[in-house]
């Protein structure tokens, strides 16, 4: 899904990024480029490129005569897919998952409403196909296959909204859904009510019924939130 270790500087980021987002270096910590370069056995040029990327994510700040200081969590670019992935892989995964689910609950209903107005025929067809796929794999411990269609469903909704900001949240939703399936309730079959809701959303979008699509999607995301409350109160 992502692009691990593209070049040496990418390799460095793959360990330094998670370390910082995991709070291994608390905010205010000072790193020295030269030391880091030695530590990772790379040249200063490579290390500098890695630091530049971290700086563009507002994870660190590089100042002369001081060094590379870790910035407080509040400054981080938490919408950067890379940062999201790093944080989801780290210790505060539950907290992160909750934040993202709340975000979903705000975005997706509105996106579904817009999708009902703007979806093309092809998108409607794809949506229906996804919903049917979910139904087909909703029983008998076929969670992996179910997940694929679930992710695709929400991606189509977000894309069909016609809003590029919504569309770009497809990756985030995918991470959340994948994370939920793989780390929480891997064993049980999905809630039948949720499956039905997805089918109904597809219907509403196909019929251009924006309020209904929005309301139904809100039910879906509310369900996701409650599920989270049950598992991690």
Partner DNA sequence: GTGACATATAAGTCTGACTTTTTGGCTCAG
Partner DNA sequence: CTGAGCCAAAAAGTCAGACTTATATGTCAC
Question: Which residues would be at the binding site for a copy of itself (CB under 8 A)?
Answer: 9, 45, 48-49, 52-53, 55-57, 73-74, 76-82, 99-100, 102-103, 105-107, 109-111, 114, 163-168
Q: Indicate which of a copy of itself, DNA, none lies near residue 32 (CB less than 5 to 8 Å, by partner kind).
A: DNA
**Tokens matching residue 164:** 């590029």
In the complex, the residues that contact DNA under the rule CB under 7 A are 6-9, 31-34, 41-46, 48-49, 51, 62-68
Query: Rounded CA gap, 4 and 85, in Å?
Result: 11
Q: Indicate which of DNA, a copy of itself, none lies near residue 57 (CB less than 5 to 8 Å, by partner kind).
A: a copy of itself
CA nearest to 174, candidates 148, 141, 197, 194: 148
Q: Minimal distance in Å, beta carbon 102 to a copy of itself?
A: 5
CA nearest to 77, candidates 49, 58, 54, 100: 58
Smaller CB separation from a copy of itself, 13 or 199: 13
Smaller CB separation from DNA, 2 or 41: 41
Apex 147 CA angle, 123 and 208, nearest 5: 25
Smaller CB separation from DNA, 17 or 190: 17
Q: Residue 114 in contact with residue 169, Cβ under 8 Å?
A: no
Q: Minimal distance in Å, beta carbon 158 to DNA?
A: 31
* 92: helix, strand or coil: coil
* 78: helix, strand or coil: coil
């Amino acid at each position: 899904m992502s692009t691990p270790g593209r070049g040496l500087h990418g390799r460095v980021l793959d360990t330094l990024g998670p370390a910082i987002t995991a709070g291994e270096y608390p905010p205010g910590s000072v790193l020295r480029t030269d030391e880091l370069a030695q530590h990772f056995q790379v040249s200063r040029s490579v290390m500098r490129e890695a630091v530049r990327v971290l700086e563009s994510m507002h994870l660190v700040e590089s100042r002369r005569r001081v060094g590379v200081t870790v910035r407080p969590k509040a400054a981080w670019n938490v919408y950067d897919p890379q940062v999201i992935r790093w944080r989801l892989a780290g210790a505060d995964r539950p907290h992160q998952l909750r934040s993202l689910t709340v975000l979903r609950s705000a975005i997706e209903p509105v996106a579904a409403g817009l999708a009902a107005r703007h979806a093309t025929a092809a998108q409607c067809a794809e949506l229906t196909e996804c919903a049917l796929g979910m139904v087909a794999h909703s029983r008998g411990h076929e969670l992996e296959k179910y997940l694929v269609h679930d992710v695709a469903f929400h991606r189509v909704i977000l894309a069909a909204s016609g809003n590029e900001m919504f569309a770009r949240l497809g990756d985030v939703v995918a991470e959340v859904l994948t994370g939920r399936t793989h780390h929480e309730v891997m064993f049980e079959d999905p809630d039948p009510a949720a499956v039905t809701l997805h089918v109904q959303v597809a219907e509403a979008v196909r019929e251009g019924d924006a309020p209904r699509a929005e309301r139904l999607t809100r039910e879906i995301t509310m369900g996701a939130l409650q599920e989270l409350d049950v598992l991690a109160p």
